[in-house]
Structure 1
Amino acid sequence: MKISIVGLGWLGRPLADRLKAKGLKVKGTTTTIQKSEMLTNEGYDNVVLKFSPFPEGEGYQRIFDTDVLIINIPPRTKTAQPTFHPEQIKFLKEMILQHKVPKVIYVSATSVYPDENQTAKESDNLTKENTGNLALFNAEKLLWADKQYDLSIVRFGGLLGVDRIPGKYFSGKENVEGTSPVNYIHRDDAVKLISWIIEKELWNDTYNGVTPLHPSRKEVYEKNASQMGFEPPKSYDSSGAKPWKKISGAKILETGFEFEIPDPLEFWYA
């Protein structure tokens, strides 16, 4: 089986490692010549392909000679308009259809769900009026519309672990939100989940990728600080006014998937 990963970054590279270890033929993309040379030296078959939002690069057509295409290009929500990422996906979909790619996995995020003091699940009725992330919502809709390929969407919670330590982002800060539940997944389990979808052929569906356990933000931040030796938040917001959401990960568990690290309090970090 041939696998192509659009985005050999923080998640894409370990995903490529896992799929190659299973005997699959893996190739992927990166956004600059410098990164491409580095990846080549490390043994990754890759091409340069950047969506600005139109595709830029050379020789990237061979990426679409594949059995499964994994789209792993997070939207730049802080630096781009909500229309930018859907435009990227529009161009990508045109090439998917042109090359008759049979199966597609799109890496989305649980930010598509609104913060409404609720437990969110895949069957929730999301609209452009209530979504928490319009760019991702529209990108998902684009991929589903008039598709001629099998599609699965994975909505990951906070992708953490290794060098991404949630408590470090709030070290020494004041009035930090601490009561709401976290919706995290360790990178190791995110890699395993995408591989699981391919292995079990879980197509034409949407799955949340979050741990089954949801400790509070304060519990995670304090554990991180104690574990890694940095300062915890100076104070926490006690108003309880900020809306929150808990993401249900029950659907992927029903397929037989098992988390290696089901508790965010037990995540490992470099």
Structure 2
Amino acid sequence: MKNKIAVFGCGWLGLPLATTLQKQGYKINGSTTTKDKLTLLEQQSINSFLVDLNDNDFTTQLDAFLSNVDVLIINIPPRMKTGDTSSYLTKMKLVHKHSKLANVKKVIFVSSTSVYGDLNGEITEKTTPKPLTSAAKQLVAIEQLFLNDTGLKTAIIRFGGLIGNGRHPIFHLAKKDEVNNGNYPINLIDITDCISIIGLIIEKNYWNEIFNAVYPYYPSKEEYYTQIANTKGLKPPVFTHNKSNSGKKVISYNLISVKFYNFVTSV
């Protein structure tokens, strides 16, 4: 019998991830912060739970969600309604504590290439993160929280910019008059590969590792987004260049060169 997997956060990525894993034979617990979505999850044969980090009693909801779970996939972005810049980390410490109490053995934490900040040049998993924003600093702290727990098997996935299923940065950029750092390379990944990579980690037991996850295609932002804007019938923004910095190129070294993963969908 396949493991029971808890997908913590069934939004843009989490819902199709949960349905894909469910079709592969896994029993799935899925969480949402809205009551309306509970029925949608149940229609997909997913055990639905209302778990909102902003609720004062969210750990009670969390305990039910984590009951008899083998693998926990944390797919909650560092955005909190309270405005407290440290609240996300505080809540994730409680998630870690209660996952231990529930005897969860394996955790996949969905992180971001934002942890590398404004580093320049080629970036691999061996590159030391240099987060600049509060959100990125909290992501690094949470990565270490789970990785340093020898009682857990943990995988960290640092996704690049997420596209697919109706989502693309060009829709936001096209509304701007000017976009900075047009000479920087893109670091993007399609949702199809996001789901495939998470499934691969579970299937192959790739634990206690960090994975950069970016499609290996790095044209400049100006070149790429101008082309995409023209394809979609949008007005391309004007791009400025950073003369002192060439930007970061995030290499999915562990996935491509070590695990020999073949990306499914181009960007």
Q: TM-score, normalised by structure 1?
A: 0.88
Give the Å deviation of 1:22.
1.2
Deviation of 1:256 (Å):
2.3
Q: 1:214 is matched with which residue?
A: 218
Q: Deviations over 1:230-269 (max 9, x none)?
A: 2111x221453466211111211120211012x42xxxxx
* CA–CA separation in structure 1 for the residues paired with 2:251 and 2:51: 34
Query: Who is 2:190 aligned against?
Result: 186
Equivalence for 1:112: 115
Structure 2 CA distance for aligned equivalents of residues 208 and 13 of structure 1: 22
> Contact 1:53/1:88 (CA < 8 Å) preserved in 2?
no
- Structure 2: distance between partners of 1:257 and 1:53: 39
- Of 166-175 and 213-222, the range deviating more from structure 2: 166-175
C-alpha distance in structure 2 between counterparts of 1:248 and 1:202, whole Å: 18
- Larger mean CA deviation between 97-106 and 33-42 belongs to 33-42
Shift of 1:18: 1.5
Runs of 4+ in 1 over 4 A off after TM superposition: 57-60
1:47 CA displacement: 0.5
Identify the range of structure 1 (218-227 vs 191-200) with the bigger mean alpha-carbon deviation.
218-227
Structure 2 counterpart of 1:18, one-letter code: T
Would you say the 8 A contact 1:167–1:220 is kept in 2? Answer: no
Out of 116-125 and 190-199, give the one that drifted further: 116-125
Corresponding residue for 2:207?
203
Q: Is the deviation greater in 117-126 or in 197-206?
A: 117-126
Alignment of 1:189-268 (within 5 A): 189-233=193-237, 235-241=238-244, 244-253=247-256, 254-261=258-265, 263-264=266-267
State percent identity of aligned pairs: 33
- Show the 5 A alignment for 1:24-39: 24-39=26-41
**Distance in 1 between residues matched to 2:19 and 2:43, nearest whole Å:** 15
Quote the Cα distance in structure 2 between the aligned partners of 1:223 and 1:150.
42
Residue correspondences, number = 259
Residue number in structure 1 paired with 2:50: 48
Measured after TM superposition, the shift of residue 111 of structure 1 is 0.4
Aligned-pair distance for 1:199? 0.7
Pick one of 7, 10, 23 that aligns with 2:9: 7
Change (3 A) 1:143 1:222: same
1:84/1:135 contact within 8 Å kept: no
- CA–CA distance in structure 2, aligned partners of residues 77 and 243 of structure 1: 32
CA-atom RMSD in angstroms: 2.1
- Normalised to the residue count of structure 2, the TM-score between the two structures is 0.89
Stretches of structure 1 that go unaligned for 5 or more consecutive residues are 265-270
* Gap runs ≥5 in structure 2: none
Cα 1:200–1:151 shift into 2, 3 Å: same
Greater CA deviation, 209-218 or 30-39? 30-39
